[in-house]
Amino acid sequence: MRFPLALCVAVALQAQSLPRYVGSLACQGCHPRQFATQSATAHAGALFRAKEHPLAAALPLGQTLLRKPGYQLTLSKRETGLESTLRNATQVMELPLDWAFGAGRQAITFVSRVNPDWYVEHYATWYAAPNAWGATPGQDALQPGDIAQAAGLLYKTTNPENGIDGCFACHSTGPLAFGPANEIQPREPGVRCEACHGPGSQHTNRPTPTNIGNPARRNAAQINEFCGQCHRPPAAGGNVTDWNYAWNVRHQPVYLSQAACFRKSDGKLYCLTCHRPHEPSLDSKVVVDYNSRCRACHAASLRPPAATCQTNCIDCHMPRVSPQANLSFTNHWIGIYRAGAKLRP
């Protein structure tokens, strides 16, 4: 069987010209400003090797966490890195901490490889508010049958529904690679440039404004979907969200899509109205900034605020919801909430 030469050349050219992921360091030289501020965001810190987490040295190691029935968990620092020690009356189990998920704005959860097929999400999560260890979300309700189960929750290495590869995919940049023993190797830990701009090899070789992706070219609903890849998109075809389930509030695109501000503003309200993509956005210094963003639309001509609306707009119209102790999320369904009701306006 012979292929025409022209076809072979075309295929070869196409393979050559498919853009590859090159990593954020390749963008630094030409875009130093975006690089510097983006590196300080929670996005950039969403995933680290555990011992490389910037907060690793500040964690309250040595503090003991109890788990029923009769387990004691402590974390400690060894030459090789961080390690957890779990003991009960008769047994001891030691596990290295491989990966740290979460920049630490609210919490850090640890994940380790067990064997080629399984990873474990550790029982102990560090919570920023109390600076203390607590149960990882969802694990408190589980009853461990043995010491291995007490260490944490097992996840398949890969599984389209609930594999640990899903955690890595949302907390890193580019497609995942797998080592010889099926160990997950993120291209680049954390949510960095190419998570939002796409693979950058063509652009870094010969930069033009059009050979790199830019979410700003999408419309409001598409940006909602785009950020929703990781923050969860509004449900397609109908409303399947349980508005009484407090954990769902963390799916900001779903909630924003319900707000009258979003639905009735002809595509002028989207994630980037309030969040700057390259800057740490959750900072008390910017509260005034949110007020000015609300007022940009709610001036005299469009539903001016009521007489009660004197202080921070978000305190009343975007209430914070706490689905469990030490974690809270902002309700992006902007609206008028009755006193005490925070889940839906």
Which residues from 119-148 bind ligand HEC, rule CB under 6 A?
A: 121
Contacts to ligand HEC from residues 30-89, by CB under 6 A: 30-31, 34-35, 38, 41-43, 45-46
Q: Which is nearer to ligand HEC, 71 or 333 (CB)?
A: 333
Query: Which residue, 86 or 139, is less far from ligand HEC as judged by CB?
Result: 139
Contact track, ligand HEC, 261-300, x by CB under 6 A: x--xx--xx-xxxxx-xx-xxx-------xx-xxxxxx--
Residue 216 touches ligand HEC, criterion: CB under 6 A: yes
Token pair, residue 298, equals 């709610």
| Pair 109, 125: CB distance under 8 Å | yes
Whether the bond into 69 is cis, omega within 30 of 0: yes
| 22 lies in the binding site for ligand HEC (CB under 6 A) | yes
Q: Which residue in the block uniquely carries the two structure tokens 């491989």?
A: 98
> Which of 165, 195, 159, 162 is CA-nearest to residue 177?
165
Instruction: With CA atoms as reference, report the closest residue to 38 among 24, 52, 21, 53.
Output: 24
To the nearest whole angstrom, how small is the minimum distance from the Cβ of residue 35 to ligand HEC? 4
Taking CB under 6 A as the criterion, which residues in 245-264 touch ligand HEC? 250, 252-253, 256, 260-261, 264
CB of 289 to ligand HEC, least distance (A): 9
Distance of alpha carbon 251 from alpha carbon 330, whole angstroms: 9
Q: CA–CA distance from 209 to each of 2, 194, 215 (Å)?
A: 40, 15, 13
Q: Where are the alpha helices (DSSP H) in the chain?
A: 5-17, 25-28, 32-38, 147-151, 164-170, 193-197, 201-205, 220-231, 252-256, 260-263, 271-274, 287-297, 313-317
Nearer to ligand HEC, 87 or 247 (CB): 247
d(CA 46, CA 39): 11
Binding segment (CB under 6 A) for ligand HEC, from list 57-65, 143-151, 178-186, 302-310: 302-310
Q: Which residue's CB atom is positioned nearest to ligand HEC?
A: 200
Give the CA dihedral 293, 299, 301, 305, nearest 10 degrees: 110
- Kindly state the smallest distance separating residue 66's Cβ from ligand HEC, in Å: 21
Residues 148-207 that bind ligand HEC (CB under 6 A): 166-167, 170-171, 191-197, 200, 203-204, 207
Count of residues of this chain found to bind ligand HEC when the rule CB under 6 A is applied: 101
Q: Quickly list DSSP for 74-122.
A: EEEEETTEEEEEEE-SS-EEEEE--EEES-SSSEEEEEEEEETTEEEEE
Residue 222 within binding range of ligand HEC, rule CB under 6 A: no
Cα dihedral 272, 274, 279, 283, rounded to 10, equals -160
The least distance separating ligand HEC from the CB of residue 344, rounded to whole angstroms, comes to: 10
Q: Given the complex with ligand HEC, which of 63 and 201 has the nearer CB atom?
A: 201
To the nearest whole angstrom, how small is the minimum distance from the Cβ of residue 4 to ligand HEC? 36
- CA distances from residue 208 to 17, 203, 204 in whole angstroms, order as listed: 15, 6, 9
Q: Give the shortest CB-12-to-ligand HEC separation in angstroms.
A: 24
Choices 12-20, 58-66, 85-93, 313-321 (CB under 6 A): range interacting with ligand HEC: 313-321
